Amino acid sequence: MPTPVLHTERLLLRPYRPDDAEDSIALLTDPDVGRFMGDGPLSAEEASAVFGRVFTKVYANDLFDVWAVHRDGRYVGHAEIKRTEQVDGHEIIYALAKPAWGEGLGTELAGALVRYGFDTLGLPRVYATVADANHASLALLGRLGFVHERDIAEDDGSVSRVLVVDRAPPDTASRVGGDGTDRRGTTVVGGPAGRAGPHPVGPSTSDGTGFRDSAIRACSVSTGQGRESKGARRWV
């Protein structure tokens, strides 16, 4: 089924449109956003190819959910949730453009993706992969209930941490994780429950849909402290 529209308190997550190209390429080529990317920020040519694959591969074959993130009509970021072999489950991937940093939007965006995974896809758990040096993002995801599962040794000698959060019991369904952090409400438009299904995996170039396996280590998210941390691992 098509990627649905999601609404949070401040954000609109909708499927990409061709007129998002300029904003998407600017995000992918930004050196600050690419700080924790395995190969650094992309070239304009690489970013344009990634944007094209959203339509020709991901949406055309209904591989997984990919959103353009907007606030007040302005593009502010990118989000995905998809099954990956690296974690043997569904992983959230997200990024915010620099003008949206420092306002707590990263927590709101990551929380929305987790809720979508639990409430719409019916997942029992959701994963995120974060560079070990990215302390702010590790703390952010910890506040959403993520816990450390294992480490991945990358080809360049760095370490990425695999984090996981399990679906809360029914009596705590209004929360994400077990730390008492209140959820911000998310409304799903046009997305049937049970979408998890047998989605093909798309993080590597072997299937034509995405980056090299180590191309994206982490995406930029807001720490709420005026400085961005990095979030989840690799994009389309």
pLDDT for the residue numbered 178: 40
State the pTM of this model. Answer: 0.76
pLDDT of residue 137: 84
- Which class in CATH covers the domain with range 5-179+218-230? alpha beta
Positions in the chain short of pLDDT 70: 36-40, 170-236
Report CA-CA distances (Å) from 82 to 93, 99, 109, 188, 235: 8, 26, 15, 17, 10
pLDDT for position 36: 67
pLDDT score recorded for residue 63: 96
Residues 45 and 64: their CA atoms lie apart, in Å, by 23
Going from the C-alpha of 93 to that of each of 169, 171, 174, 180, 217, the distances in angstroms are 25, 28, 23, 23, 10
Q: pLDDT tens, 140-167?
A: 899 999 999 999 988 888 889 999 999 9
pLDDT at 35: 75
- pLDDT the model gives residue 30: 94
Query: What's the confidence (pLDDT) of residue 194?
Result: 38
